[in-house]
Copies of this chain bind each other. A is one copy, B any other.
Amino acid sequence: MKKTSAKTIGRLSLYRLLLDNLRRDNGITVYSHELAAAANCSAAQVRRDLMSLDYAGSPVHGYRITDLIESIDNFLDHPQGQSVALVGVGNLGRAILSYFRGRRPKLSIVAAFDDDEHKINRVINGTWCYPMADLRKIVKEKNILVGVITVPPNAAQTVADQLIEAGVHGLLNFAPARLKAPPQVYLEDVDMTMSLEKVAYFSRLRAEE
């Protein structure tokens, strides 16, 4: 069994989203080129990505939407579901709590953490907010493997260390800082400044033509 690249994993997640939309519109089957058009990529790309799954489409009818979704679910999701913790209940943290609320049945933010007395020990945007001091205990209790970091950049590394020490194996970092983590921890940065500056740069190039 050969391992699947992070890019492919990302696209599988995207395909699932698009397939959910198609199913909602009462679609039954879909061809690779249709999925490709929806995903802004090539049909060959789609077919290649789907090779990671143990589901084969029909050359005649394409892929059965429900079956394909189920295959992606089996591949991406943990059967018992996975719990996520979010640290830093500021503007961005709260927005993300709302954003993910109910989005994926098998992957939900089950605990938020902050230091602010006005935020702790109550429900914020649907999620209970604990004090930072309880982080280790709750992460272990709830068997949390994934941490989302939405604290200011100068606090990000400390928070990451605490999460890792508590047993987390994946971090999604929204703070504009690069974190150090041991190799057994998967680290993904969402750097909005970087993204915006990229868009600004290329929009200038395109506009000049």
Main secondary structure of the interface of A (DSSP, over half): helix
A94 CB-CB contact with B under 8 Å: yes
- A100-B193, A192-B190 as given contacts; A84 in contact with B17, CB under 8 Å: no
- Which A6-37 residues sit within 8 Å CB-CB of chain B? 6, 9-10, 13-14, 17-18
**Pair A145/B200 contact, Cβ less than 8 Å:** yes
Question: Which single member of B39, B90, B169, B193 contacts A178 (CB below 8 Å)?
Answer: B39
* Further 17 A-B residue pairs, CB within 8 A, beyond A9-B197, A10-B195, A186-B202: A6-B198, A9-B202, A10-B197, A14-B191, A40-B187, A76-B197, A78-B204, A90-B95, A92-B95, A92-B98, A92-B99, A99-B192, A169-B204, A170-B204, A172-B196, A186-B205, A186-B206
Interface size range on A against B: 35 or more
Residue interface mask A165-184, B partner, CB < 8 A = 1: 00011111000101010001
A137 CB-CB contact with B under 8 Å: no
**Pair B107/A194 contact, Cβ less than 8 Å:** no
**Pair B99/A203 contact, Cβ less than 8 Å:** no
How many chain copies does the complex carry?
A: 2
A159 CB-CB contact with B under 8 Å: no
**Pair A107/B196 contact, Cβ less than 8 Å:** yes
| Chain A to chain B: the 6 pairs with minimum beta-carbon distance, closest first | A170-B203, A186-B202, A95-B95, A169-B203, A170-B199, A91-B95
Residue interface mask A68-102, B partner, CB < 8 A = 1: 00000000101000101000001110111011100
**Pair B91/A194 contact, Cβ less than 8 Å:** no
Q: Who on chain B is nearest to A3 by CB?
A: B205
Rounded to whole Å, the gap between the CB of A162 and the closest CB of chain B is 16
**Pair B14/A200 contact, Cβ less than 8 Å:** no
- Which A102-157 residues sit within 8 Å CB-CB of chain B? 103-104, 107, 125, 145-146, 148
- A14-B178, A40-B178 as given contacts; A199 in contact with B146, CB under 8 Å: yes
**Pair A103/B14 contact, Cβ less than 8 Å:** no
